[in-house]
A and B are shown apart, each in its own frame.
Chain A
């Protein structure tokens, strides 16, 4: 098994605050890894560290075998930040075309394809400020996918999506996995986290548990993932 992402002994402080306190994880190629935890638990900070956008105070990160930060590897990586982080005065198509452009790509077929995936082809030429929150989020995902990355970091990709759209996103993630694409995503929703191949339950900057959803549920003795999280959180104090 080749690790697409591996992190060892990650510590990160912001001033007096310990945000991450010794995180270890390995993400296998072609799988989906879910970071599950409440807001403020350190999920986004960990994603930024894995991408090389931020440097750990201790520990090391490698992505596809290269120590981070590494600019060259970023052409194989797609990133969808938690906040939309798009140009609200541009249309969906213009946003996607721009992020394709900074990857050095000018391929209108690729742009149409990702707009189809997020089901925005029909509104592609409307400016984002006319979009609902969910539509902006879908545009953001399209921007992360347009250059055909082998590794995706998605920070809360399904926030603001209705259940139907959320299901179709997960179908697409599965299809990407089958094509060999690795996905690291964060969520605070227990039910959708079941879909991940492996999970890291994170709270106060440490893993409460790490493994497949079934392993975590079994080890905690709870009935489901939500209860498992509560049991483990109470044990942490």
Chain B
């Protein structure tokens, strides 16, 4: 082994890195920032799980709420029935405990769970049952018509606004992953192939032809969009028939959301390819563009459970809205007639249109 030859190779690598400060920053700074972000997230993510108590019978609702709050795992508030159900549908609270006059003189106790997040549903169900099992709450409800024989807990009926007890974590993650994969791969493929178009001279050659910039971007969107839809079809098929996830919505809406996402991914890829000189630099967009969205867009932790500043950031990320729309379609069975699909979808499209415009500014005929 000749040390001089080895050192020549090592020296050349250091020289190349010195000409590429961005890559040095990437290797050193980005892991520090990511470590800090993930650490902060793990410490401070606090899923807020709220159950509203609504009674149509005379009872000590405040006492019940207090007993549930004493358990420390979920938050209980007292709300009128209509308001509670409205907030449940809007996703502001995750469960409602209803107390109604029952048919046989006994009052009926029903826990309505929002149901899209199985973890959340399980925690709320357990918290409410535990509170009722405690003597304290039993004492509170003595004198009302709730619950069978003295000494036994009341009979708790559970119902679900969306889904049901069969929903598993896989059901909750599948819509998010469909969105993330569509965005991730299409973005990366577009960024690299448009970078090649720029560095290989073919973009300049195209600019010497009468093609409009919009026509070029639209062609990219159609071409890569086709693969995004094929990919989504594959992932959806595996999820439904392979993983047997529970699936409430229309497959057509899923593809419509995926197409909006690929519109976004292609235009963002074209736009950002202007800021890379080499494919190595294009790959650096993974930690810069994709990892923050993977952490903050609600794939793992619900956006509402993030610390305030990060929640605001998450709302500015297009993937957050795409995942909202996909979950509303697949878990709630909602469609484009529902605001929780339509608005997030329109938000993704708006982001995409903005990036199409930005992408088209990164190449023009008269530029040097």
Q: Is B211 an interface residue (CB 8 A)?
A: yes
At the interface, yes or no: A54 with Cβ under 8 Å from chain B?
yes
The answer to whether A69 touches B206 (Cβ under 8 A) is no
Q: Is the CB of B365 within 8 A of A53?
A: yes
CB of B209 to closest CB in A, whole Å: 5
Q: Could you say which residues of chain A place their CB within 8 Å of the CB of B206?
A: 102
Q: Which one of B197-205, B267-275, B287-295 is at the interface?
A: B197-205
Given A14-B368, A69-B365; A85-B210 close (CB under 8 Å): no
Of listed B204, B208, B211, B368, residue having the most chain A CB within 10 A: B208
Interface residues of A in 79-93 (CB under 8 A from B): 79, 81, 83-87
Are B201 and A54 in contact (CB-based, < 8 A)?
Answer: no
Q: How many A-B residue pairs have CB under 8 A?
A: 58
For the complex, is B30 an interface residue (Cβ under 8 Å from A)? Answer: no
Chain B, Cβ-Cβ closest to A51: B208
Measured CB to CB, the nearest residue on chain A to B203 is A85
Assess whether A85 is in contact with B200, with CB atoms less than 8 Å apart. Answer: yes
Q: Does A72 contact B (CB under 8 A)?
A: yes
Residues of A within 8 Å of B149, CB to CB, are: none
- Contact A54 B210, beta carbon cutoff 8 Å: no
Tell me the residues in window 194-249 of chain B with beta carbons closer than 8 Å to chain A beta carbons.
Answer: 200-202, 204-212
Q: Could you tell me if B366 and A85 are in contact, using CB atoms closer than 8 angstroms?
A: no
Distance, CA A128 to CA B117, complexed state (A): 52
**Which residues of chain B are within 8 angstroms of A79 by Cβ–Cβ distance?**
205, 208-209
Is there an interface contact between A85 and B204, defined as CB atoms closer than 8 Å?
yes
A54: chain B residues within 8 A (beta carbon):
366-368
Q: Which residues of A have CB within 8 Å of B212?
A: 71
Which residues from chain B contact A86 at a C-beta distance below 8 Å? Answer: 200, 202
In the complex, besides A14-B368, A153-B208, 12 extra interface pairs with C-beta distance below 8 angstroms are A53-B207, A54-B366, A54-B368, A55-B366, A69-B365, A71-B365, A77-B208, A83-B200, A85-B205, A86-B202, A87-B200, A99-B209
Chain A residues in the interface with B (C-beta under 8 A):
14, 48, 51-55, 69, 71-72, 74-75, 77, 79, 81, 83-87, 99, 102-104, 143, 153
Sample of 20 A–B contacts (CB below 8 Å): A53-B365, A53-B366, A54-B368, A55-B368, A71-B210, A74-B210, A75-B209, A77-B208, A79-B205, A79-B208, A79-B209, A81-B201, A81-B205, A85-B204, A86-B200, A87-B200, A87-B202, A102-B209, A102-B211, A103-B210
Which 10 A-B residue pairings sit nearest by Cβ, starting from the closest? A85-B201, A79-B208, A74-B210, A55-B366, A75-B210, A102-B211, A102-B209, A85-B205, A69-B366, A69-B365
- Interface positions of B (Cβ within 8 A of A): 200-202, 204-212, 365-368
